[in-house]
Amino acid sequence: MNTLIDTLKYFVIITVELTALFIGISTIIGVILQYISQDKIKKWMAGRGIWGNFMATVVGAITPFCACSTIPMAKGLMNAGVSFSAILSFIIASPLLNPIILAMLLALVGWKACLIYFILVFGLAIVLGLLFGKFGAKGEGSKESGCRCSEDVQKEHLTTFGKKLHQAFWGAVGDYKAVFWYLIIGVGIGSLIYGYLPQDIVLRFAGGKSPFAIPIAALIGIPLYIRTETAIPIGLALMQKGMSIGAVVALIIGGAGMAIPEMTMLASIFKKKTVAVIVVAVFMTAVISGLVFNAIM
């Protein structure tokens, strides 16, 4: 009975925290994006060399795009003449550095881990974009995404801050409804892990001393369609059971940064070799970040 009560308490507390963070941060970003046009974003990213990669990473970090929004945006950037190098930096940064993820990490694992995560992924998005940029190629055909996240919907011309705030809030609520069951599933699984999974099992296969824990966690995450709202509460519960923080970070990055549906969408825009380059870049981001976390945390 005590275990059941602890499990239910964990479920309620994490659900309330993540709900408040998601709607609050989404509303703030929604207001900010009311003042920034997509044409201006594309212009920022059109710079050559490291500046283009830096701005692409910045844009990815301030836009709370889900995977189904990132890919159509990448197609638009390609059509606008943005280099593949910068597009790759955006594809890495957009699902992994958005403010919702950072707010969740800040609330659940603390400011130090959140800051290290941000610096690592931000730097790797730039470096890997530059490193693999030469492999970019023109796309072959295109597919439109069926997703209609708030960022994809044409915004009305609103003249007052109050109206912008109202639209941003209800857009955030709409986005929350779209991810609600992902969040509930993630928190539910995390709660069961927290309450019932034997700690010895986690320590044996994914503890800090396991040399293969980080790459295996990244490989598990990449094929699955794990939204960040699902992955973070699962990772938190696994970490409390003894899973190394590096393996948790690798799982989150692998799951949130790439998935089979996203690979399919990428294949409609880029050649197969280019898609493989993107998947490898996300995998390297997950593994390197996990190794660094284990080394310094």
pLDDT over 80 at 282, yes or no: yes
Confidence check: pLDDT of 212 > 70 = yes
pLDDT at 13 over 60: yes
Tell me the one-letter amino acid at 131.
L
Per-residue pLDDT tens digits for 113-141: 889 999 999 999 999 888 887 766 444 43
Q: Kindly indicate the confidence band of residue 154, based on its pLDDT and cuts at 50, 70 and 90.
A: very low
Q: 210 falls in which pLDDT band (50, 70, 90)?
A: low
> Range with the lowest mean pLDDT among 51-55, 148-152, 223-227?
148-152
**Model confidence, pTM:** 0.67
Distance CA 189, CA 196 (A): 10
pLDDT of residue 201: 67
Q: Tell me, what's the pLDDT at 9? A: 86
Task: Determine the average pLDDT of the residues in 89-94.
Answer: 87
Domain boundaries defined on the chain: 2-296
- CB count in 10 Å sphere of residue 217: 29
Mean pLDDT over 19-30 rounds to 78
DSSP the chain: -HHHHHHHHHHHHHHHHHHHHHHHHHHHHHHHHTT--HHHHHHHHT--THHHHHHHHHHHHHS---HHHHHHHHHHHHHTT--HHHHHHHHHHHHHS-HHHHHHHHHHH-HHHHHHHHHHHHHHHHHHHHHHGGG--------------GGGSPPP---SHHHHHHHHHHHHHHHHHHHHHHHHHHHHHHHHHHHHS-HHHHHHHHSTT-TTHHHHHHHHHTTS---HHHHHHHHHHHHHTT--HHHHHHHHHHHHH--HHHHHHHHTTS-HHHHHHHHHHHHHHHHHHHHHHHHH-
